[in-house]
């Protein structure tokens, strides 16, 4: 494996003194999909939200350890949040459009980043919607409220919105929870087709989804990293018995 | 409790009795409201004519209209609300977005609550010493407007805070994750989303300012203006003060009723407007 | 443009301190104007019954008694009425009725004090003169008008308190066969007690501080009222009546009265704050929201039906 895009060492996360994640190591390779699986409350979201420092800035989490993105440790302090979050985009567990039109949602980030020209924004909107396989469905209602889209469409809009930032890493927190199988399928297809353009981190509590789309999988339990490795190996020949129990659904 | 009393107060009976008594008391309260509205509007509205609203007052208010008084009232109110808005909304943003509950927020909230409880006559004394005398503004629209700004501040803080808290927290997550700073997120996403709620506070503040008398009488003065105020440093008499003078000195019953009708109608509509706006807004995020 | 967040935070902190600053400067200016006089003439003069400011006698006792009397009267009327309305609104009225009654109360809250005073002049005073005798303008008239004026405050804050009682308390009680009234009396009201106490205290504050309406109906004679039908003068009325022309020591004495008023209202607010201190502002539903802050005493419902 070449040098990982993101490498996490000894990561600890506490909320108001209560530890939620302890000593987690995780390597996330470039241009591949890394799945993070584990039961509810095991700390998946916490880890994800720490990779773009949302946990620190919004949830007031205390963190220790290292998270190197391209060899720069973002936990070391003095990181430009805005720059980091443009490079490390995030999609949330339920569709989260902002109030406003489909178009407004898509250009929110780029406008803040300084793209002003109408033509540039239009082009960006089209290319990111195409990438998220949503262009054909919404090209006629770009000016309508984003809340009028279906749940699945909203979630793909949120993915397109993240892609419009031109990120290097895309963090997805259970992006398909609450979506129907067709929407789920579309999102998985999209991830597959864009796999080589980004570094993907997919948190999911659907082990089958992890098996379907990811190249690497990491299993966390009660805030600790139990096992990580190539997806095929982790599912067929887990080193830790707890991993086997979990992926086969023999777990509380 | 003896057996007889117990039977008489059997739960079903007590229930019926309680319902009857409580609903009757509610009816009394509503009856009072209707009485006031019927009295004031019934006797006043018919004297509210276009000329009344657009004419100068004559003969210390016995005849003529209220035009300069209406203009003065609007100026005092607008100034008050305009000055209070940045303070109130800023306070709310700080409380909701920038700080955790702790000693500091307790102090700020307690300050706002106490301010809300300070009687308007005290604001009048304060505005008189600070603005009229110490800062040398004299009895003026400016002095009254600034005094009213301080009076409406607590309302604005409370409604803005509630409005901001009602905005889903995930909007901040989303906006930050798209490369906005916190302040950009507040300006571009949170404040627009909270706007209807904040507007409610503004409207309530306007209503309170229009109806205020004690604080205005010592800061804007009470002499009857004979022309439309030309600058903020002129004194004025607001509608409430005018009404007070007419009613207390028995100057003109017709004009008193008409002035009261204008006041009550304006404030009731304003408060209803605030109520409706707020309800719409809160429902959106349920 | 990207403003550094630290700068924004500092600026907002300054704005947030504005209400505390206003409160402090109110205190500062009133004390500066009034306290020297109290110091000079002494507390025994200041709290005597002799108010002849032009003759150097600044006793506010009768006015203090007047304020106290009308406030007590207003509470006697406004508290039962207000709490009953809150119970009807919060516990009994069907949603359709609530949609009409609540805005009606808002309108009551918005009616200016001068209009209340005027209603006193044209309705209450003649009625008292006719049916009870006396001059009409009296402590009783003031108490009636004030009792109505504090209704919206009492209703709004009690209603908040009632609405803060979790639905499950009521369900539990009703499920055990209690009637609606038993549920209200034994479960909901006790659970909302601190909020209702706060409502009454804040209503008291409003009654003490109300000025214009009282001036218009209380008669304003500086004397010890011997019956509810006697005219009396409150602290606030005294300020409103004499501020316009007072100068020198007289004006200082009025500011000194303001200090007394300010202290009364401030301590009432403090008391209301204490009564409500367990009710924190509802935390915003975000990831950081923790339930841990709620004291256990508030989470466990009182035993629903504890009939002796
Ligand atoms: N903002 C927060 N404040 C306090 N504790 C938190 C916060 N966020 C998460 N936690 C705690 O941290 C632990 C891990 O939560 P996290 O949300 O990371 O789990 P998760 O694996 O994403 O779970 P799920 O599959 O249910 O989404 C939990 O015990 C949770 O209660
Ligand atoms: Mg999660």
A97-122: average pLDDT: 92
Q: Read off the pLDDT of each residue in B186-203 and give the average, rounded to a whole number.
A: 89
- What mean pLDDT is predicted for residues B262-286? 79
CA distances from B6 to A154, B78, C182, C307 (A): 62, 61, 14, 12
- Does some domain include residue C256? yes
Secondary structure (3-state) at B136: coil
- Would you call C288 and A58 a contact, using CB atoms and an 8 Å cutoff? yes
Q: Which of C237, C266, C294 is the last residue of a domain?
A: C237
- Do residues C232 and C247 share a domain? no
Main-chain phi, psi angles of A173, to 5 degrees: -100, 100
Q: Are residues C93 and C224 in the same domain?
A: yes
3-state SS string for C160-209: HHHHCCCHHHHHHHHHCCCCHHHHHHHHHHHHCHHHHHHHHHHHHHHHHH
Q: How many CB atoms lie within 10 A of CB C200?
A: 21
User: Does C42 fall in a domain?
Assistant: yes
ipTM of the shown complex: 0.93
Q: Residue C39 falls within a domain, yes or no? A: yes
B182–A165 C-beta distance less than 8 A: no
Are C125 and C228 in the same domain? Answer: yes
* Same domain (yes/no): C208, C273: no
Residue of A nearest to B184 (CA): A112
C304 within domain boundaries: no
Q: Which of A2-6, A165-169, B251-255, C57-61 has the highest mean pLDDT?
A: A165-169
pLDDT at C291: 33
Asked if C150 and C261 sit in the same domain, the reply is no
Tell me, what's the pLDDT at B123? 95
Average pLDDT, chain A: 90
| Residue C183 structural domain | 70-237
B111, B151, B218, B265: which to substitute to probe chain C, counting the most C Cβ within 10 Å? Answer: B111
Tokens at residue B186, please?
A: 């507040």
One domain, residues C75 and C224: yes
Top mean-pLDDT range of A49-53, B102-106, B236-240? A49-53
Say whether residue B112 is in contact with chain C using an 8 A CB cutoff. yes
Rounded Cα–Cα distance for residues B153 and B112 (Å):
8
Site of tokens 């309800």: B279
Instruction: Give the count of domains, chain C.
Output: 2
Q: Whose CA is nearest to atom 28 of ligand 1?
A: A41
Cα B36 to averaged position of ligand 1 atoms, centre (Å):
56
Give the number of A-B residue pairs with CB atoms closer than 8 Å: 57
Q: Which of A219, B273, B242, B80 is nearest to C103 (CA)?
A: B273
Query: Which residues are CB-contacts of A120 (< 8 A; sequence separation ≥ 6)?
Result: A110
Does the pLDDT of residue C308 top 50, yes or no?
A: no
Residue of A215 and B272 predicted with greater confidence:
A215
From CA B181, how far away is CA A80, in angstroms rounded?
A: 10
Q: What is the pLDDT of residue C293?
A: 33
CA of A45 to the centre of ligand 2 (A): 4
- How far apart CA B265 and CA B256 sit, in angstroms, is 14
pLDDT digits (tens, 9 = 90+) for C69-100: 999 999 999 999 999 999 999 999 998 999 88
Q: Å from B120 to nearest chain A CA? A: 40
Q: What is the pLDDT of residues A11-30, one digit of tens each?
A: 999 998 899 999 999 999 99
Do C167 and C222 belong together in one domain?
A: yes
d(CA C59, CA C62): 8
Q: Look at B275 and C110 and tell me if their CB atoms are within 8 Å.
A: no
Q: Is the pLDDT of residue B74 over 50?
A: yes
Res. B213: pLDDT tops 50: yes
Shared domain for C116 and C228, answered yes or no, is yes
CA distance B182 to B173: 10
**Percent of chain B predicted with pLDDT > 90:** 39
Q: Provide the percentage of residues in chain A whose pLDDT is more than 70.
A: 99
Minimal Cβ distance to A58: which of B176, B188, B189: B176
Q: Are residues C164 and C86 in the same domain?
A: yes
Query: Tell me, what's the pLDDT at C273?
Result: 83
pLDDT interval class at C307 (50, 70, 90): very low
| Whether C133 and C209 share a structural domain | yes
CATH number at residue C152: 1.10.3720.10
Find the closest chain A residue to C2 by CA distance. A112
- Check pLDDT > 90 for residue B55: no
How big is chain C, counted in residues? 308
Q: What is the mean pLDDT of residues A146-160?
A: 92
Please report whether residue C115 resides in a domain: yes
Higher per-residue confidence, B224 vs B185? B185
**What is the whole-number distance in angstroms between the Cα of residue A173 and the centre of ligand 2?**
7
Domains of chain A (ranges, CATH numbers): 6-95+171-247 (3.40.50.300)
Between the alpha carbon of residue B88 and those of residues A192, B110, C283, the distances in Å are: 50, 14, 20
Whether B102 and chain A come into contact, CB under 8 Å, resolves to: no
Could you report the per-residue pLDDT of B122-174, keeping only the tens digit for each?
999 999 999 999 998 888 999 999 999 999 999 999 999 989 998 998 999 99
Within 6 A (CB) of ligand 1 lie A 15, 20, 38, 40-46, 59, 205; C 287-288
Q: Has residue C186 been placed in a domain?
A: yes
- C54 plus C112 within the same structural domain: no
Here the tokens at position B197 are: 């709620």
Contact between A92 and B170 using a beta-carbon 8 Å cutoff? yes
**Paired sense of beta strands A216-221 and A224-230, if any:** antiparallel
Query: How close C285 comes to chain B (CA, Å)?
Result: 7
- What pLDDT does residue C301 have? 33
Cβ contact, residue pair C239, B125, below 8 Å: yes
* Residue pLDDT, tens place only, C194-243: 999 999 999 999 999 999 999 999 988 888 888 888 899 999 999 999 98
CB B220 within 8 A of CB B235: yes
Query: Do C109 and C226 sit in the same domain of this protein?
Result: yes
Which tens digit of pLDDT belongs to each residue from C91-139?
Answer: 999 989 998 898 888 888 889 999 999 999 999 999 999 988 888 888 9
In a domain, C214, yes or no: yes
pLDDT tens, position by position, C3-29: 677 888 999 999 999 989 999 999 999
A49 Cα nearest atom in ligand 1: 18
């Amino acid at each position: 494996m070449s040098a990982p895009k993101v490498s996490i060492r000894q990561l600890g996360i506490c909320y108001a003194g209560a530890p939620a994640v302890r000593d987690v190591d995780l390597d996330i390779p470039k241009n591949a999909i890394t799945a993070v699986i584990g039961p509810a409350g095991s700390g998946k979201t916490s880890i994800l939200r720490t990779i773009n420092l949302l946990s620190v800035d919004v949830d007031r989490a205390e963190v220790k350890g290292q998270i190197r993105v391209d060899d720069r440790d973002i936990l070391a302090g003095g990181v430009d949040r805005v720059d980091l979050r443009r490079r490390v985009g995030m999609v949330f567990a339920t569709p989260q459009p902002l109030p406003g039109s489909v178009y407004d949602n898509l250009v929110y980030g780029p406008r803040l980043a300084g793209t002003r020209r109408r033509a540039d924004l239009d082009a960006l909107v089209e290319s990111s919607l195409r990438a998220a396989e949503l262009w054909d469905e919404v090209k006629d209602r770009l000016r309508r409220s984003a809340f009028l889209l279906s749940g699945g469409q909203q979630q793909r809009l949120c993915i397109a919105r993240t892609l419009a930032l031109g990120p290097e890493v895309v963090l997805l927190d259970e992006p398909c929870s609450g979506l129907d199988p067709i929407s789920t399928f579309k999102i998985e297809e999209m991830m597959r087709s864009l796999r080589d353009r980004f570094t993907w981190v997919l948190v999911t509590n659907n082990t089958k989804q992890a098996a379907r789309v990811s190249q690497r999988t990491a299993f966390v339990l009660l805030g600790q990293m139990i096992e990580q490795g190539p997806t095929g190996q982790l599912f067929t020949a887990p080193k830790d018995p707890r991993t086997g129990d979990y992926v086969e659904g023999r777990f509380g | 409790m003896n057996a007889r009393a117990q039977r008489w107060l059997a739960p079903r009976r007590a229930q019926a009795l309680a319902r009857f008594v409580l609903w009757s008391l509610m009816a009394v309260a509503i009856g009072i409201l209707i009485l006031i509205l019927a009295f004031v509007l019934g006797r006043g509205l018919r004297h509210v004519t276009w000329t009344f609203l657009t004419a100068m007052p004559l003969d210390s208010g016995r005849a003529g209209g209220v035009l300069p008084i209406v203009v003065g009232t609007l100026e005092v109110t607008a100034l008050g609300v305009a000055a209070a808005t940045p303070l109130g909304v800023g306070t709310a943003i700080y409380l909701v977005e920038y700080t955790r509950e702790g000693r500091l927020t307790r102090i700020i909230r307690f300050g706002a609550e106490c301010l809300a409880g300070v009687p308007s006559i005290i604001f009048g004394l304060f505005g008189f010493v600070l603005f009229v005398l110490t800062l040398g503004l004299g009895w003026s629209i400016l002095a009254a407007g600034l005094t009213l700004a301080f009076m409406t501040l607590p309302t604005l803080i409370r409604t803005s805070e509630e409005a901001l808290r009602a905005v889903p927290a995930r909007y901040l997550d989303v906006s930050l994750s798209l490369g906005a700073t916190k302040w950009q997120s507040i300006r571009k996403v949170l404040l627009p989303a909270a706007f209807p709620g904040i507007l409610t506070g503004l409207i309530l503040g306007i209503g309170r300012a229009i109806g205020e008398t004690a604080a205005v009488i010592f800061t804007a003065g009470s002499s009857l203006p004979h022309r439309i105020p030309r600058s903020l440093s002129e004194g004025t008499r607001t509608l409430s003060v005018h009404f007070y003078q007419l009613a207390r000195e028995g100057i003109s019953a017709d004009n008193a009723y008409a002035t009261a009708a204008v006041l009550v109608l304006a404030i009731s509509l304003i408060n209803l407007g605030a109520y409706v706006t707020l309800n719409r807004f809160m429902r959106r995020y349920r | 443009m990207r403003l550094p967040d630290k700068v924004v935070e500092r600026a907002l902190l300054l704005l947030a301190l504005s209400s505390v600053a206003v409160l402090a400067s109110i205190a500062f200016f009133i004390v500066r104007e009034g306290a020297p006089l109290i110091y000079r003439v002494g507390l025994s003069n200041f709290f005597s019954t002799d108010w002849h400011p032009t003759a150097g006698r600044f006793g506010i006792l009768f006015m203090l008694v007047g304020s106290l009397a009308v406030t007590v009267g207003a509470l006697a009327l406004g508290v039962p009425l207000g709490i009953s309305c809150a119970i009807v609104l919060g516990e009994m009225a069907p949603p359709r009725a609530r949609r009409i009654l609540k805005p009606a109360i808002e309108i009551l809250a918005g009616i200016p004090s001068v209009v209340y005073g005027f209603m006193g002049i044209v309705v209450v005073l003649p009625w008292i003169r006719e049916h009870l005798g006396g001059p009409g303008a009296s402590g009783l008239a003031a108490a009636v008008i004030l009792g109505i004026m504090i209704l919206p405050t009492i209703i709004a804050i009690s209603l908040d308190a009632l609405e803060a009682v979790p639905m499950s308390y009521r369900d539990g009680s009703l499920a055990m066969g209690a009637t609606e009234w038993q549920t209200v009396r034994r479960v909901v009201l006790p659970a909302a007690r601190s909020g209702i106490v706060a409502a009454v205290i804040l209503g008291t504050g409003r009654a003490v501080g109300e000025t214009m309406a009282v001036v218009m109906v209380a008669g304003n004679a500086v004397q010890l009222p011997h019956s509810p039908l006697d005219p009396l003068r409150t602290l606030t009325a005294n300020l409103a009546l004499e501020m316009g022309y007072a100068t020198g020591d007289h004006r200082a004495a009025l500011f000194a009265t303001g200090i007394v008023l300010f202290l009364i209202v401030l301590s009432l607010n403090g008391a209301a704050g204490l009564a409500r201190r367990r009710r924190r502002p509802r935390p915003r539903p975000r990831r950081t929201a923790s339930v841990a802050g709620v004291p256990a005493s508030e989470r466990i419902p009182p035993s629903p039906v504890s009939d002796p």
